[in-house]
Structure formats: C-alpha cells, structure tokens
Amino acid sequence: MRQSSDSGSSVVIGFVILLMVIALGIGIWALISLPAEMKEAESTHTIGLSNAFLDLKLSADKVRVNNFEGARFSMLMPGSSGMSGTTIQFTEDTGGELFLYREEAPTVNLIPSTMNAEVGRLSAQIGGTRGTTVIGYEGGGVFRSDSGNAVWLTPGLLQIYPDATQSNATIRIDLVLINMSGSTETSSNWGVPIDCVYLGSTYDITQSMNDTTLTLSFQSSDPKQQNLWSEMFAEAVARYPAEVAAFEMANPGKAVPEVTLTSEEAKLKISVGGNNWVKVYMRDAAYDVSLVNRYGG
C-alpha cells in the first residue's frame, strides 16, 4: 500500500519538475531570444518599407523627367510586420512652406503665390521595441526618422552647381516643388496599395540676379520637420564641391562662380558678388495620390 502511494507521489513530483523545466525554458526564450527576434523582424520590415519608398521615388522621378503626363504607377506598401504596428499616412499639406527671398527684400517671396509651395508627405510610421520610426517621401526625397533623428536616404529635389551656359560666372539652383493631392489622411496596419498619377508640370520659372544674397527658407511649426529640411539644405551645401570638381573637369578654363553657401536653422543662403550671377530654375510636379486601389478587388 505504501509502495503504491510512494509511486504516485513520484509521478506527481516528476510532472511538476517537468512543468518547471518547461516554464524555465519559456522564460529564458522570452527573456533572451524573443526580443532579438522582434528586433530582427522590425529591422527587416523597416528595410522593406524603405525600399518601397525608394521605388516610389524612382517611379515619380521617371514620369516627371520624361514628362509622361497622365502616367500611373502603383505599388503595395507592406503593412504590419506581425510584431510591430505600421500606419501608412498621406497628408496634402503638412503645414510647412518654402520661401525664397533676397536679402534686400526679405518679405518678398520669389516663389509665386500661384505656384504651390506647400509641402505634402506620404509616410509610414512604425512602432516597435526601439521606439517610433517614420519613413516618408517629402520634397522629392525619401527620409527616415528614428525617434525624431532624421536622415535623408535620398536627397530632395534641390541642386546647386556651376552653370556653363553663359560667358560670365554663374551658379545655378534647380528646385522642384512637389505638389501632392488626392485622398485625405488615411491609416492602416495592413498592406496599403498606393496609386499615383502624374498630372504634369504647370510652372517653369527662371529668376536671374547678380551681386546678391538669396535665402531659401523652410518654415514649419513642427521642429522635427524643420530639422529634416535643415539636413536637406546641409546636404546640398556638402555636395557643392563635388559639383565644382565635375564642372572644372568638363569645362577647362571656364570660371567657377565665387559663391558662399551656408545652411542654418532650415535656411540655405547663397551669396554671389561682383559680376557673378545666380540663376534659379523653379518647376513644379503634381501628383494625384490615392491609398485606395482604383481598380478594386
């Protein structure tokens, strides 16, 4: 009788020990392996979204450069990674606006009021173990912001370089203003089909000035967005020496404009003196954006 009781107790104790071992294994996995797996899944998902936005930019640039008015391009933005929520958003006007003015007349915006200088954004927001990451298309470039620290994966459509089209020394500024319209702000934790139509360009404006200081300013009530555009301006300044080197190689003997470029607090200043000229080429590019598949299904 006692042997039967001892045998039953041993089975119970063995089962309890087995449960404890299983619980310990699950605890170790949850403590060590699970966070690493979640971070890897989030990283993979973020890279996938970055690539999707880069593909979007390439398509938008292709139809714009070739002037394929009415051209449509679509893609599916990946949604939730399963371990982190993703929100896809489109906003026609973020509240940010571009201003271009001469130092002598700081209240006169050289970007015409009829030319839409409001800044829209198409973005994906990811929440995960590392905080909030935002990847987006704005100003013709693709950016990534991790917990408010933003970098441009590809720069916006702003370029500054010497111009060889005239006998006098000239610096050229190319600025493309992206105008996005369409559906109102939308969010989804699932894959979102994005459908874009290139509506064409309405404005192609050239401003020529000499012996002046021009300031391209971005104004926004959002400090994070201002920092983002500060980075864009800083990158344009950093790329200028390479543009000069390429110009000198392609145009031996041509004068390189004497120019001072500075960027600070979402402002880009271009100063030229004497007989040097600065020419600003401004164009717009309009896109109709929809987060709903126009073809249904």
The whole-number pLDDT of residue 295 equals 44
The whole-number pLDDT of residue 294 equals 47
Regarding predicted confidence, which is higher, 36 or 97?
A: 97
The dihedral sign for the CA sequence 247, 248, 254, 260? positive
Q: 3-class SS at 17?
A: helix
The whole-number pLDDT of residue 190 equals 64
Q: Are the beta carbons of 209 and 172 closer than 8 angstroms?
A: no
Q: Is the pLDDT assigned to residue 118 strictly greater than 70?
A: yes
Q: Is the pLDDT assigned to residue 86 strictly greater than 50?
A: yes
Q: Is the pLDDT assigned to residue 85 strictly greater than 80?
A: no
Regarding predicted confidence, which is higher, 253 or 185?
A: 253
Question: 3-state SS string over 24-61?
Answer: HHHHHHHHHHHHHHHHHHHHHHHHHHHHHHHHHHHHHH
In this predicted model, what pLDDT tens digit does every residue of 177-202 receive, in sequence order? 998 888 655 555 567 788 899 999 88
The whole-number pLDDT of residue 198 equals 95
In this predicted model, what pLDDT tens digit does every residue of 199-245 receive, in sequence order? 998 888 888 888 888 899 998 888 888 888 988 998 888 888 888 88
Report the helix count and the strand count for the chain, using DSSP H and E. 3, 13
CA 109 – CA 100 distance, rounded (Å)? 5
Q: What is the mean pLDDT of residues 109-122?
A: 81
Q: Is the pLDDT assigned to residue 297 strictly greater than 80?
A: no
How many Cβ atoms from other residues are within 10 Å of residue 113's Cβ?
7
The whole-number pLDDT of residue 197 equals 94
Confidence of residue 72 (pLDDT cuts 50, 70, 90): very high
Q: Which two tokens stand for residue 129?
A: 């173990």
Q: Is the pLDDT assigned to residue 5 strictly greater than 50?
A: yes
The domain segmentation of the chain, as residue ranges, is 50-290
CA 279 – CA 76 distance, rounded (Å)? 40
Q: Is the pLDDT assigned to residue 83 strictly greater than 70?
A: no
The whole-number pLDDT of residue 77 equals 80
Tell me what the pLDDT averaged over the chain comes to: 80
Extract long-range pairs of 17-20: CB within 8 Å, 24+ residues apart: none
The whole-number pLDDT of residue 285 equals 93
The whole-number pLDDT of residue 53 equals 93
Confidence of residue 296 (pLDDT cuts 50, 70, 90): very low
The whole-number pLDDT of residue 35 equals 59
In this predicted model, what pLDDT tens digit does every residue of 254-277 receive, in sequence order? 777 777 777 777 889 888 877 788
Confidence of residue 30 (pLDDT cuts 50, 70, 90): low
